[in-house]
């Protein structure tokens, strides 16, 4: 209760949820003693795969007995997920104490919710000067609150695609502009660039960071992987090749993220051994990213069929999600809820050979699109129905033995699934 009251006060400090500027976060961090200047950070920017890349790095680093602090957003079930220090989420009372301390120093000055949370992370992280900080950039990067570091160990660029377009002018809603916003202010250190969905995107990234003096590591040019056996994949970079077990997270596209994590850690000379990588990639925790639900109320409703939840919500996420679905030899059923500001028709256009699609309401989010309106946008797709809730949707689907049920379209929807379960 105490934590929720503080968060409520945080949300009232600024009239806007997002107001792109670095002035407020810089001002508060200066009052805090510029803690962001006292940490060792790996910055992760991009559209898709940021959290998966962070979790892969984290899992490998833990196997090497490294201590990590992690800052991610948004959270799925509770705000504590965003604040990991010394390999452990802060408890409610610890988080409340941290928030109160920073709140007092802020003196009720206007600052957005995300900005004050970011300042809280930096303030706490500075207390662990030897830890490695894995920091996920929020909206774009150029004016993101995480972008006030003066130096870092590396910047990791994950897959970039069109998302959050409502924050751009209509004539600026291009890959070129999005790449610029995400990569034009990367620090001079090491830049590791993941596989991109199009050659155009990779070209834009290379052009944007051309003048950056960092050591640049690109997927395909400097590191790559191949799959030659069912239970193994082969990773290769300038340091040599590794035969590795398949990661414990679903989807072949996750090999892009895992390989990028490996490339990052091998580039940084952090005394990461091959065995740390081999063990680490089989212990990755990745909530709401092709996460199989194996128990609970919703699992009982689908009985022996596979139930998967995934928070993908943009074109590129839909593309790789459908690639995973098409690799499975079974009937697939999809339940979808989405936010109103997403490109709904483009998202659904990637799903092929789906037995049924059911739209549902996302009642916890006032800025979501209703399930009925979403069904109307999906009318070009056969077998679309609407149900008010996830539970009603599951009960309405004629699942046969061996079928797969996927719930997707929003991280908020994924959070609802996990809370119901």
pLDDT of 395 above 80:
yes
What is the predicted pLDDT for the residue at 19? 84
- pLDDT tens digits, residue range 206-258? 999 999 999 999 999 999 999 987 789 999 999 999 999 999 999 989 999 99
Within-domain flag for 242: yes
Same domain, 73 and 153: yes
What is the predicted pLDDT for the residue at 379? 86
Within-domain flag for 336: yes
Number of domains, the chain: 2
Same domain, 414 and 379: yes
Within-domain flag for 146: yes
What is the distance between the alpha carbons of residues 187 and 146, in angstroms, rounded to a whole number? 12
Among 224, 247, 280, residue at a domain's last position: 280
Rounded to 5 degrees, what are φ and ψ at 68? -130, 150
Same domain, 271 and 295: no
What is the predicted pLDDT for the residue at 345? 95
Percent pLDDT > 90 in the chain is 88
What is the distance between the alpha carbons of residues 43 and 45, in angstroms, rounded to a whole number? 6
Same domain, 102 and 158: yes
What is the distance between the alpha carbons of residues 139 and 361, in angstroms, rounded to a whole number? 25
User: Is 193:264 a contact under the CB 8 Å cutoff?
Assistant: no
Tokens of 314: 């943009």
What is the predicted pLDDT for the residue at 167? 67
Same domain, 262 and 319: no
Which CATH number does the domain housing residue 58 bear? 3.40.1190.10
Per-residue pLDDT, averaged over 96-102, amounts to 98
Among 225, 256, 280, residue at a domain's last position: 280
Q: Give the distance from CA 216 to its chain's centroid.
A: 23
Per-residue pLDDT, averaged over 292-313, amounts to 94
Same domain, 298 and 264: no
Which CATH number does the domain housing residue 373 bear? 3.90.190.20
What is the predicted pLDDT for the residue at 1? 80
Tokens of 187: 């620090």
Same domain, 274 and 304: no
What is the predicted pLDDT for the residue at 230? 74
pLDDT of 32 above 90:
yes
Per-residue pLDDT, averaged over 299-315, amounts to 94
- pLDDT tens digits, residue range 355-388? 999 999 998 899 999 999 999 999 888 889 999 9
Among 51-55, 161-165, 196-200, 362-366, name the one with the lowest average pLDDT: 161-165
Same domain, 242 and 336: no
pLDDT of 187 above 70:
yes
Rounded to 5°, the CA angle 179-184-187 comes to 130
What is the predicted pLDDT for the residue at 285? 94
Within-domain flag for 303: yes
What is the predicted pLDDT for the residue at 165? 67
Calculate the average pLDDT of the chain. Answer: 95
- Which span out of 105-119, 152-166, 314-328 was modeled with the highest average pLDDT? 105-119
Same domain, 223 and 306: no
Same domain, 271 and 143: yes
Within-domain flag for 407: yes
Return the number of other C-beta atoms located less than 10 Å from residue 324's C-beta. Answer: 18
What is the predicted pLDDT for the residue at 247? 96
What is the distance between the alpha carbons of residues 421 and 401, in angstroms, rounded to a whole number? 21
What is the predicted pLDDT for the residue at 169? 78
Q: Give the distance from CA 138 to its chain's centroid.
A: 9
List, in sequence order, every residue forming a beta bridge with 333; answer none if it has no partner: 356, 405
What is the predicted pLDDT for the residue at 171? 79
pLDDT of 164 above 80:
no
Same domain, 296 and 261: no
Sheet holding 223-229, edge to edge: 223-229, 232-237, 240-245
Same domain, 336 and 225: no
Structural domain range at position 43: 2-280
SS3 for the chain is CHHHHHHHHHHCCCCCCCCCCCHHHHHHHHHCCCHHHHCEEEEEECCECHHHHHHHHHHHHHHCCCCEEEECCCCCCCHHHHCEECCEECCHHHHHHHHHHHHHHHCCCCCCHHHHHHHHHHHHHCCCCCCEEEEECCCCCCCCCCCCCCCCCEEEECECCCCCHHHCCHHHCCHHHHHHHHHCCCCCCEEEECCCCCHHHHHHHHHHCCCCCCEEEEECCCEEEEEEECCEEEEEECCEEEEEECCCCCCCCHHHHHHHHHHHHHHCCCCCCHHHHHHHCCCCCCCCCCEEECCCHHHHHHCCCEEEECCCCCHHHHHHHHHHHHCCCCCEEEEECCECCCCHHHHHHCCCCCCEEEECCCCCCCCECCHHHHHHHCCCCCCEEECCCHHHHHHHCCCCCCCEEEEECCHHHHHHHHHHC
Within-domain flag for 285: no
Higher pLDDT, 173 or 67: 67
Within-domain flag for 342: yes
How deeply is 176 buried, as exposed, middle or buried, from its count of CB atoms within 10 A (0-12, 13-18, 19+)?
Answer: middle
What is the distance between the alpha carbons of residues 317 and 311, in angstroms, rounded to a whole number? 9
Among 280, 313, 337, residue at a domain's last position: 280
* 173 — pLDDT class (breaks 50, 70, 90): confident
């Amino acid at each position: 209760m105490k934590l929720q009251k503080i968060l409520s006060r945080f949300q009232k400090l600024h009239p806007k949820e997002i107001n792109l500027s670095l002035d407020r976060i810089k001002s508060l961090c200066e009052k805090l003693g510029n803690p962001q200047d006292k940490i060792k950070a790996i910055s992760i920017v991009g559209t898709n795969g940021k959290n998966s890349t962070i979790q892969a790095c984290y899992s490998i680093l833990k196997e090497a007995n490294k201590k990590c602090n992690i800052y991610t957003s948004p959270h799925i079930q509770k705000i504590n997920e965003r604040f990991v220090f010394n390999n452990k989420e802060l408890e409610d009372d610890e988080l409340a104490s941290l928030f109160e301390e920073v709140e007092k120093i802020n003196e009720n000055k206007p600052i957005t919710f995300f900005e004050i949370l970011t300042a809280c992370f930096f303030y706490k992280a500075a207390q662990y000067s030897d830890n490695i900080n894995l920091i996920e950039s929020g909206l774009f990067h150029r004016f993101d609150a995480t972008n006030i570091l003066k130096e870092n160990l590396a910047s990791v660029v994950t897959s970039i695609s069109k998302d959050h377009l409502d924050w751009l002018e209509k004539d600026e809603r291009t890959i070129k502009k999005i790449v610029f916003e995400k990569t034009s202010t990367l620090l001079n250190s090491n830049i590791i660039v993941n596989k991109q969905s199009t050659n155009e995107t990779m070209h834009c990234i290379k052009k944007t960071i051309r003048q950056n003096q960092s050591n640049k590591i690109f997927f395909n040019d400097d590191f790559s992987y191949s799959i030659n056996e069912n239970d193994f994949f082969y990773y290769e970079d300038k340091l040599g090749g590794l035969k590795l077990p398949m990661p414990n997270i679903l989807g072949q596209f996750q090999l892009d993220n895992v390989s990028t994590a490996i490339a990052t850690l091998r580039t940084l000379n952090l005394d990461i051994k091959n065995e740390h990588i081999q063990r680490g990639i089989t212990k990755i925790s990745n909530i709401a990213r092709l996460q199989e639900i194996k128990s609970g109320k919703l699992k009982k409703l689908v009985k022996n069929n596979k139930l998967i939840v995934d928070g993908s919500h943009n074109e590129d996420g839909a593309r790789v999600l459908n690639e995973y679905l098409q690799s499975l030899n079974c009937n697939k059923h999809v339940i979808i809820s989405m936010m109103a500001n997403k490109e709904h028709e483009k998202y659904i256009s990637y799903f092929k050979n789906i037995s049924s699609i059911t739209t549902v309401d996302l009642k916890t989010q006032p800025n979501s699109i209703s399930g009925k309106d979403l069904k109307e946008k999906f009318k070009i797709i056969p077998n679309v129905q609407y149900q008010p809730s996830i539970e009603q949707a599951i009960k309405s689907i004629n699942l046969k033995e061996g079928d797969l049920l996927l719930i997707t379209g929003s991280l908020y929807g994924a959070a609802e699934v996990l809370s119901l379960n």
